[in-house]
Chains A and B, each alone.
Chain A
Amino acid sequence: MADLLYNIAAIIALIGIILTFVRLILGPTVADRAIALDGMTVMAISLIVFIAYFSERIIYLDVAMVYALISFIGVVAIARYMERGI
């Protein structure tokens, strides 16, 4: 029962990533694409933690941490580039 609920939750989060990917492709400006990328990253972090617990490899939690760090740096760099150029 609990495993079924966990799997349904992961599938719903995956549907969210796919919906956000639509905005990443369609988005008219750079800011739309950056926002879509930010949302996709947060959902992907959740799914990485899910995989880390269910394949019982706790080392994957470090992957999720590094992914969060790199995503934050990337989005701030995109915002800086939009405002004043490199």
Chain B
Amino acid sequence: MELLGAIITLLGSIFLLLGALGIVRMPDVYNRMQAGTKATTLGSIFFLLGISVGHHQCGCVGKVIILILFIVITNPISSNAIARASHFIGIKLADISKKDELQEDKNSGVVE
């Protein structure tokens, strides 16, 4: 049981490392935002689940589950707020981007 928890924890930490690598290597703000948010959310879910699976006898799994739910709810909200604000103050996309639907909606007057 402890070995299973350790393997899940290792998987989660690899996702955390990939998220950090995405934050460093991606070309503009929006790509960094999506790499950092999605990979680190999945990685932290696996990390916390793995630790609490390996040490289930201490009787505090409930707090860890509440923490996982909190991370899952709040992490997309904060990254959405950052991406929206940075698009509205005029930070440009990278040059290799193909499509900008929020800019098209702004031009056609759907979004003010």
Contact = CB atoms under 8 A, between A and B. Distances in A.
A31 B32 CA distance: 10
Contacts of A79: 78, 81-82, 84-85
A82 B58 contact: no
Contacts of B43: 42-43, 46
Nearest to A8: B10
Interface string B21-49: 10110000100110011001101100110
B48 A35 contact: no
B75 A42 contact: yes
Interface string B70-94: 1100110111011111101101000
Given A19-B24, A43-B20, A35 B9 contact: no
Residue in B2, B5, B86 whose Cβ sees the most chain A Cβ within 10 Å: B86
Contacts of B52: 53
B102 interface: no
